[in-house]
Structure 1
Amino acid sequence: MRIPRIYHPEPLQVGSETALSEEAANHVGRVLRMASGDTLELFNGTNLTFSAEIVHADKKRVMVKILASHADDRESPLHLHLGQVMSRGEKMEFTIQKSIELGVNVITPLFSERCGVKLDEERLAKKIQQWQKIAISACEQCGRNVVPSIRPAMTLAAWCAEEESGLKLNLHPRAQQSINTLPQPLERVRLLIGPEGGLSAEEIAMTATKGFTDILLGPRVLRTETTALTAITALQVRFGDLG
């Protein structure tokens, strides 16, 4: 049986006892039905994992003892910042989950002219919290120990104007170059993925003025969630740690 992995966003020390968060305790105690003497693995956002044993478990509280720590760096040498124009329904959740499994480091949800998502400030804040929980869950599942951040949503123009080192890429169906033609080595990429209806001509022109390079994935038109994952995979194969 696979040992459960649980995120614990606090410092951990071998030999100490600590209480899991309410959400983690509920998952361990109610969902997994674990009890005293069972073992699990904790991670806290560093490149360390911690072996732990449950010393107390009830419906509301789970206490664990930290038995050992292990260095475990599973981060790609390629730093990827994904700027994803928000998509409807579960598509955004799917994109966040799978892009984190593929090694993305930062995700910024974006608004563009053709963005189909309309949320007030309160609902948007709840969405960001929900997406961050999805990021944590994805790390628990895939074995990453550093949890990527889901940044507050912003406009496409504001995101493109931010200063960041590395190559800036924009997926465009009429681009003249592909990921395979990009020069090596490459350590940082700021990747822009547009909405389901694509970026407007004005937005594409704006990205060019901000230093973005248009690239082509292939001859077929992909959905926005497929585009993000395909581009991330291709970048990780060429510059990161896939393949």
Structure 2
Amino acid sequence: MPARLFVDLPLTAAGQVLDLPPGPTRHAQVLRLQPGDAITLFDGRGDGALAGEWTAEVTQMGRSVVQVVLRQFTPLDRELPTAVTLAVVMPANDRMDFLVEKATELGAAALQPLVGERSVLRLIGERADKKVAHWQGVAQAAAEQCGRTRVPMLHPVRPLNSWLAAPLAGHRWVASPGAAAVRAPSERPAQLTLLTGPEGGLSPAELAAAVAAGFEPVGLGPRILRADTAPLSLLAWIGLGWG
């Protein structure tokens, strides 16, 4: 199977010749691709029938330049029918890397990292920006692996309270132990935001603020799930039930 790479450049027509950006170039070099080898590229642009991927051929392999020519476009849409944003009060250590990777595989459209009252991981300024860039790379690699033609957007880190104070579109759920079990809406929403807490969960004040912002509390069963398990469980349930 040809290598599959995300390219953050417009891929427009058969016969288009382009130099791969630095990231895909390094990947192609690690794979020891040679002129004439086939490769699959996608740019994450387009929706529905416009989404897809390109077969391409390597035409030049250099120390710093890998050149390819586009051959054939294949329409593909492997996205969930509902655009799901995971709004996660970030778990500690490397659990956020795992969460981003698996959320991409399960079809999340976007991830919103948040800082709350009980957060262990607190990111601000340049450190936060570097982490978000790192997580965007994790999402790109996961999209390459799982066959998606779109890469989830990683939004900048924000405090939970200020994020809740801003207008939010679409259907909204907040994971809350003890709430009634999650149930599908009568009509499938176009957009859905899932809010989950960190280790220790959301504080009572944060949960009340989420409800005031239009979030419906939903339960995930009789067991207490980890901060990185809860959002993925909801996302998998949506994918299986609505996909």
* Superposition TM-score tier, normalisation by shorter sequence: over 0.9
Give the equivalent residue in structure 2 for 1:5: 4
One-letter code aligned to 1:27: H
Normalising by structure 2, report the TM-score.
0.94
1:141 aligns to what SS in structure 2? helix
Residue pairs, 1:1-243, within 5 angstroms: 2-12=1-11, 13-29=13-29, 31-46=30-45, 47-175=51-179, 177-180=180-183, 182-239=185-242, 241=243
Q: Which runs of 5+ in 2 are unaligned?
A: 46-50
Report deviation, 1:181.
5.5
Q: How many angstroms apart in 2 are the aligned matches of 1:206 and 1:187? A: 24
**CA shift digits 1:202-240 (9 cap, x unpaired):** 11111111111100010011101111110111122223x
Q: How many angstroms apart in 1 are the aligned matches of 2:56 and 2:229? A: 38
Identity %: 33
RMSD of aligned alpha carbons: 1.3
- Checking the alignment, whether the CA contact within 8 Å between 2:52 and 2:74 is kept in structure 1 is yes
One-letter code aligned to 1:213: E
2:133 aligns to what SS in structure 1? helix
Q: How many angstroms apart in 2 are the aligned matches of 1:178 and 1:78? A: 20
Q: Which runs of 5+ in 1 are unaligned?
A: none
The change in CA–CA distance for 1:181 and 1:4 in structure 2 (over 3 A counts) is: closer
1:190 aligns to what SS in structure 2? strand
Q: How many angstroms apart in 1 are the aligned matches of 2:189 and 2:182? A: 11
1:224 aligns to what SS in structure 2? coil
1:140 aligns to what SS in structure 2? helix
Aligned pairs, number:
237
Q: Which moved more, 1:142-151 or 1:161-170?
A: 161-170
Normalising by structure 1, report the TM-score.
0.94
Q: How many angstroms apart in 2 are the aligned matches of 1:181 and 1:39? A: 43
Q: How many angstroms apart in 2 are the aligned matches of 1:143 and 1:98? A: 13
1:180 aligns to what SS in structure 2? coil
- Checking the alignment, whether the CA contact within 8 Å between 1:74 and 1:144 is kept in structure 2 is yes
Report deviation, 1:188.
1.8
One-letter code aligned to 2:73: S
- Checking the alignment, whether the CA contact within 8 Å between 1:26 and 1:59 is kept in structure 2 is no
1:23 aligns to what SS in structure 2? helix
The change in CA–CA distance for 1:70 and 1:227 in structure 2 (over 3 A counts) is: same
- Checking the alignment, whether the CA contact within 8 Å between 1:179 and 1:235 is kept in structure 2 is no
Give the equivalent residue in structure 1 for 2:48: none
Q: How many angstroms apart in 1 are the aligned matches of 2:238 and 2:124? A: 34
The change in CA–CA distance for 1:189 and 1:21 in structure 2 (over 3 A counts) is: same
- Checking the alignment, whether the CA contact within 8 Å between 2:7 and 2:43 is kept in structure 1 is yes
Report deviation, 1:184.
3.4
One-letter code aligned to 1:155: P
